[in-house]
Chain A
Amino acid sequence: MAGTPGRRSDLYTLSGALPVLIAAALFAWFLGMAPAVAGGEVLRWAIPWVPSLDISVSFLIDGLSLSFALLITGIGALVLLYSAAYLDGHEHFSRFTLYLTLFMLSMLGLVVADNMITLFVFWELTTITSYLLIGFSHAAPDSRRSALQALLVTAAGGLALLAGMILLGVAAGSFELSEIRAMDEPFTEHAMYLPVLILFLLGAFTKSAQFPFHFWLPNAMAAPTPVSAYLHSATMVKGGVYLLARMHPTLGATDVWTWTLILFGGFTAVFAMVMAVRQTDLKQALAYTTLMALGTLTLFLAAPVGYAITGMMTFLIVHSLYKAGMFLVVGIIDHETGTRDARLLGGLARAMPATTLAAALIGLSMAGLPPFVGFIGKEILYAGGLEMPGAMLVLGAALTANILLFATAGIVAFKPFWRPAGGELPKSPHEGPWPMLAGPLILAALGLGFGLMPVFIAEPLVAPGVEAVLGREGTVAELTLWHGVNLPLILSLVTFAGGLLVYLAHQRIRAMLAAAEARALDFDAGWDRFLDGLKAVAGWQTRILQSGYLTSYLMWIFATMSVTLLVTIGLRGGIDRVPVFPMLDVTHWIVIALVIAGSAVAVFSISRIAAIAGLGVVGIAVALIFVLYGAPDVAITQLLVEMLIVVLFAVAALHLPLLPREGFRKLHALVAVVVGGLTTALLMMASDGPIDRRLTDYFEIASWPEAFGRNIVNVILVDFRALDTFGEIAVVVIAALGAYALLKGAPDKEES
């Protein structure tokens, strides 16, 4: 990994240094907005994009956006710095930093977008870039599978979200989230509220991996560790949480909202923590704690009151700090010892003092011990939970999750460093390089610093964030370490005691859980079965619909057309007026006779040439109709096309055998009669009513003075509607080239 001696580190190349600088500069830029936002200002920019659809590229910065933006750019800078050392000498290093930078920018766009369509574009960009990042080690099948799984699950949710956004935009009359929030009438009483809510929740729950969509997130650990650190702390998975927070003023504070979020969030949090204790891979354990954090955030977003939302905002920041730091620490351990197995690792404190320090500080914050910011976050969650509907349920879930989180912190941050090793390590451990240590140490210091001086996050981030989530001034809980002896403090003490017990017994619990897991429902395998089923259905319907026989294609097309027409006519109350046959001249009767004779030859002949010639007669009869009604251009074109078709078919058919005598094909006859009858009836109905002549009149008047042409058909083709014509001739060229490729490009039968 270290590369050849004397080689310049990737950090000092353009692709190593530039992304770090970009992220740091963005961080500084957003930090500069903090005073204004803390003062209650909301910053907004808008550029028209598709004005006719009321879509603009608009950005809005309030407390919520700013908190997210600072986490994204700040942690982004540290992670990019870390990656330069972690992936130093990797053959695709530049590609990696490109993906990661693109991902960071997409995420940033997501949290500052005000227009829903803009937001959606960035939402999907994070999906795509995260797909590239998770599948970065594309040579590994596991990695590819995980990437595809994450892509499919989140993109499916994204589609639901798009539908929800369009529904909301149309129902509310605006695509600007700030405008929708500012409306007098609450959207929660709109008839479309429930469908919109369900679609938004689908989008948010898939992105934020809420149960039952949770399975993709632990699999996403196939990504290199810096990616996991980034995706799981401040970004990607928080996208769904951000969306819920952003929509809280619009969609929140109803019973459906509250209970859905409590149930899904609470269950996800507890379930995730049980799974976390079960893992032996440090990274997997952390992945499940991320799931727990997402569940907890969702759970507290259910609340309509300020206290719980304060808890949510604080925990959001707290979690990002300790989770990014912890992942980076695990990355260092993996990088310097060659393993992430919790059963194996131990005794690293002596060899890796700086990492140990960072791990200890981060672990203490993660466990929620004072005076770290994690303690404040936990206290405020408990305090907020007491105010929520279903307080017992919320507190029960939060307490269980936190007890297990405490134990996991011990497994990840304490045991590998201080307990004796469980076996021989693949590499003899040594300290990581400084770019890798910088991130964890800075994040650890922030965890301690914000714990001692919580005002630094309370004023600029938490309080404006709570206001943004509630859409109004809310009671913001005060962030301090000491609230006096109250229920949250007692719950904290219970957490510590419970957590310690679980930690001490974790090896036995793990064995029990492993046994239980073997019997439980496996969502990951279920996903595979689902995909297999989908592929089987796709294969089955393709075999039926696209058999490769021209006859069967025509059957399907015409049968579908007949059925849809009949259903439409049936639904519209049948054919309401009987069309009147106009009086016909002798010339008309001749044309009709020609059509019938041609059709009869085409249907009954056993010679292909005769059949094609019969069709040609029908075509020429149609050309005659055009002549009779004064459309010489159309008539000439029709005549030429008919001739060419007959010639081309004749060339091909000359070498084919006679048509097989299959007897009378009843189904074909039925479809043919139905299609012909329906088309005739519909045409007669359509021409029965008064014809709107406005366009005809316009072209007749305008053709000469505006386009200097007397042949209206041609003037329309080459002037008034030239763009359409251009599209048509482009299609002609594409079709010709396609046919050419088919005829000439196919390998000869002798060769194959």
Chain B
Amino acid sequence: MKSIILMTGARLLLVLMLVFSVFMLLRGHNEPGGGFIGGLIGATAFIVQAIAAGAADARRVLRVSPEALAVVGLGIALASGLWAGVFAEPPFTGQWYWVGGDSYETSAFSLNTVLVFDVGVYLVVLGSVLSLALSLEEEV
């Protein structure tokens, strides 16, 4: 049961939802959002694609296997946590680097391990949910 309308719409939706999921991920620290929510939205984007055009098509668009995404995400989260250990601080202590200044107020933007950790969460949720959804879709 393939619908042309749904397939065309899904292609647009996929792009929009992916951009939105990254937006949710990035704003998470100050506004509602974050890695969990972003990952769920991203997964939904691909699931819509899978419903419209089939799981195989969704996998083709995703390019990498969802399981690999999840594991890589876990690795990124772990690495961001262990980074604090380099400076002899307890693991998972947030490390902040100010670009163009020396504090939050004076700097243009910041690089921090907290966001890296959230990216890890995003990938774990995206990969895990997709792994489950696509496998189920293919199974039945």
B-contacting residues of A (Cβ < 8 Å)?
A: 632-633, 636-637, 640-641, 643-644, 647-648, 651-652, 654-655, 707-711, 713-715, 717-719, 722-723, 725-726, 729-730, 732-733, 735-737, 739-740, 743-744
Contacts and interface: CB of A to CB of B under 8 A. Distances in A.
B132 to A, nearest CB: 5
Contact of B32 (A632, A707, A709, A735): A632
Contact of B70 (A637, A654, A733): A733
A571 B94 CA distance: 46
A446 B104 CA distance: 80
A644 B36 contact: no
Secondary structure at chain B's binding surface: helix, strand, loop or mixed?
helix
B128 A711 contact: no
Nearest to A717: B34
Contacts of A652: 136, 139-140
Nearest to A739: B132
A98 to B, nearest CB: 34
Nearest to B51: A647
Given A644-B47, A726-B77, A714 B135 contact: no
Contact of B36 (A637, A722, A735): A637
A4 to B, nearest CB: 51
Most chain A beta-carbon contacts within 10 A, residue among B34, B70, B140: B34
A623 B31 CA distance: 18
Nearest to A740: B131
B31 A736 contact: no
B56 to A, nearest CB: 14
23 contacts: A633-B32, A633-B37, A644-B40, A651-B136, A651-B140, A652-B136, A709-B114, A711-B34, A714-B33, A717-B34, A717-B36, A717-B118, A718-B35, A719-B94, A722-B114, A725-B121, A732-B70, A732-B128, A733-B73, A733-B124, A733-B127, A740-B67, A740-B135
| 9 closest cross-chain pairs (CB), A and B | A736-B128, A640-B40, A722-B92, A632-B32, A709-B29, A743-B135, A714-B34, A710-B30, A729-B124
B125 interface: yes
Given A640-B44, A647-B47, A651-B140, A735 B135 contact: no
A131 B31 CA distance: 60
Contacts of A713: 34
Contacts of B104: 708
Contacts of B78: 726
Contacts of A708: 29, 96, 104, 110, 112
B81 A733 contact: no
Interface in B94-117: 94, 96, 104, 110, 112, 114-115, 117
Contacts of A717: 34-36, 118, 121
B77 A729 contact: yes
Contacts of B133: 644, 647-648, 651
Contacts of A736: 66-67, 70, 127-129, 131-132
B34 A723 contact: no
Contacts of A707: 94, 114
B137 interface: yes
B138 to A, nearest CB: 8
Interface in B52-74: 66-67, 70-71, 73-74
Contacts of B29: 708-711, 714-715, 718
Given A640-B40, A711-B34, A733 B140 contact: no
A644 B136 CA distance: 12
B33 A733 contact: no
Contacts of B125: 729, 732
Interface in B2-40: 28-37, 40
A636 B115 CA distance: 20
Contacts of B139: 652, 743
